[in-house]
Structure 1
Amino acid sequence: MAQAIDMLAIEQALNGFTIPPQPEILQHIQQQLDLPEPNVKRIAALINLDIGIAGFTLKVVNSAFFGLRQKITSVEHACKFLGVNRVLKLVRSVLLRFTLAEGQNDKFSLKLWASALQSANIAMTLAKHFNLAQDMQDDCYSLGLFHNAGIALIHQQTAQYEHVMQQGLLAQRPYSEIEEQHFATCHEVLGYLIAESWGLTPVLCNVIAYHHSPALMLGSDSETEKQLFALLKLAEHFSGECRQLFNISLDPEWEQHSGAILDVLEIEALQLPELAELLHRAQITTIYSV
């Protein structure tokens, strides 16, 4: 497992930033799950308290990415059919988007959440294609939506974020180096704190904390960490994340580490167009179809 986050770095990263607290709905759902016999109707009722959250959750469940043979017609139906733990993971991701995107309708914020959603769908679809466990598929969706949550916090503080990052990345400087110089924090640590506060697993928190540290993650002694990291990086590559967010085609991380990333997934670069076609059939746009 990757090394623990330095607490001094956390204190410095938090200066001037407030981590949004875990919504009460998640706390109440977790309390139900901790009971000897969780009440599915009560859990569904909690989710239904927010029509927007409930509606978006059902929209995702019924999307092509889940590949269900029958349409899910209610939150209670989803809980019974998918299991409450799966629904909780999905609701947590949906709530993150609603919480951090609230009132943020500027162009960059819209691009950020569109990119996060695309990465989530790609990572989950690929995990399913590689026949990985159901928990891993669900975690890939959470990872895709949470990995850049820290960017949303920094962008809320400064409208210059996009321009500063664009110039720094064009100079091929690392994300954290640019952010720490200009904003005295980095989105990896902020994302880690959000993920930890919102109840994601330690493995997911670690991958979020180090998703721009390829050498460290690829050297992890945890196969799960390496697989999740590799799937996230492949999803970022297919989505063209740098191009989407900062309008640049450079991706030094992928260019330098793609071989090792693909090795983790036991695939070769020649298979990428085939995987892109798989994603296209799942109605997901990639850099190969632009």
Structure 2
Amino acid sequence: MELDTQRALDVAQTEEILRGVLIPPRPALLVEVLEEQNRPEPNLERIARLVSEDVALAASTLKLVNSPLFGLSRPVVDIGHAVRLLGMRNIVSLVTALLLHQAFRGSKGTLMEWFWRRAEWMAHAATLVARASRALAQEEAYTLGLFCDCGMPLLLRRFPEYAGVYEAAEREADARPLIEVERERLRTDHAAAGFLLARAWKLPAEFCQAILRHHDPIDYYQAEAADVTVKYLAVLMAAQHLVRQMQHQPPAAEWLAVGTSVQHFLGLSEEALVWLLQELKKLRPA
């Protein structure tokens, strides 16, 4: 899926607006891990060793892998074990997600506290949707859910008034996508800012596109041969709907526009969504 003209302009304008705002650089550890992953014959032991050298990251990775969310039949005792059990691509996805926490560790405030809580819920909801629909690997879905709103901290760095703008946008979220309100007030939106961060971290192009489009009220889900971006988007759309339900919020305008198509694409009935919501409520993200 390529950038259409309007969203390309949105991204270019966002890049100009955020000029001078520090977009967290791609962590050195991620650079090394991805370089090893992309070798013709990657060394799993080296990837495990690289992750293990960051003690805090290794501990967080093991805590996440052993959480009820992933439902492993036996505990994972070290990073090497995790790499062998989950596979290189999946463990790299989880490490990438956890590095996002480190990138914005210094950002404080009420909105940031809310952002991290919601990011964790989105990660959990996306994982459940991916598992139920088999659209994506659950580890990949976890990373996608955690990253999807990563542009918010960037807008907060650029606009001190962003918390108020977001609250205003949320009040209208059932009538129109909240990024429309952001663009009216700020001339940019958190989806475009998140795209820039994901691109700076050299995440897969389809992943970046999904972040950019995850509030689009456009039916991408009718194509007979949907590309992976559409799978990412469908999982995010369903996850967002579940999180809004859990927080007793009305369905978002995007879901009202394309929710039926998303459910059909993922093979999820209304009963399945009710079950997923109950499963989500059982989880307690940290």
User: Residue 218 of structure 2 aligns to a residue in which SS?
Assistant: helix
- Per the alignment, residue 155 of structure 1 pairs with 156
Residue 129 (structure 2) aligned to one of 126, 129, 132: 126
List gaps (5 residues or longer) in structure 2: none
Per-residue deviation, 1:4: 4.6
CA RMSD of aligned residues (A): 2.6
Question: Is the CA contact (8 Å cut-off) linking 1:124 and 1:141 kept in structure 2?
Answer: yes
Is 1:65 the counterpart of 2:69? The answer is yes
Question: Is the CA contact (8 Å cut-off) linking 2:130 and 2:141 kept in structure 1?
Answer: yes
Q: Over residues 8-62 of structure 1, what are the superposed CA-to-partner deviations in whole Å (9 max), with x where a residue is unaligned? A: 4333102233322111101111222233443333322221232221111111111
Q: Over residues 156-215 of structure 1, what are the superposed CA-to-partner deviations in whole Å (9 max), with x where a residue is unaligned? A: 233422222222342444323222232232111111121122232222211111111121
Is 1:50 the counterpart of 2:54? The answer is yes
- Per the alignment, residue 26 of structure 1 pairs with 30
Q: How does 1:196-211 map to 2 (within 5 A)?
A: 196-211=199-214
Q: Over residues 72-114 of structure 1, what are the superposed CA-to-partner deviations in whole Å (9 max), with x where a residue is unaligned? A: 11112211222222111110111012202x1123221111111
Is 1:113 the counterpart of 2:112? The answer is no
TM-score by length of 1: 0.84
Counterpart CA distance in 2 for 1:176 and 1:166 is 12
Identity among equivalent positions (%) equals 28
Residues 33 and 173 from structure 1, CA distance in 2 versus in 1: closer, same or farther, beyond 3 angstroms? closer
List gaps (5 residues or longer) in structure 1: none
TM-score by length of 2: 0.86
Per-residue deviation, 1:64: 1.3
- Per the alignment, residue 12 of structure 2 pairs with 11
Per-residue deviation, 1:219: 5.6
Q: Which amino acid aligns with 1:213?
A: D
Per-residue deviation, 1:276: 2.2
Residues 250 and 31 from structure 1, CA distance in 2 versus in 1: closer, same or farther, beyond 3 angstroms? closer
Question: Is the CA contact (8 Å cut-off) linking 2:94 and 2:143 kept in structure 1?
Answer: yes
- Per the alignment, residue 283 of structure 2 pairs with 284
Q: How does 1:1-290 map to 2 (within 5 A)?
A: 1-4=1-4, 7-14=8-15, 15-16=17-18, 17-100=21-104, 102-132=105-135, 134=137, 137-171=138-172, 172-215=175-218, 217-218=220-221, 222-240=226-244, 249=250, 251-280=252-281, 283-284=282-283
Q: Over residues 112-165 of structure 1, what are the superposed CA-to-partner deviations in whole Å (9 max), with x where a residue is unaligned? A: 11111111111112211223453xx33211210111000111112334222222
Aligned length: 278
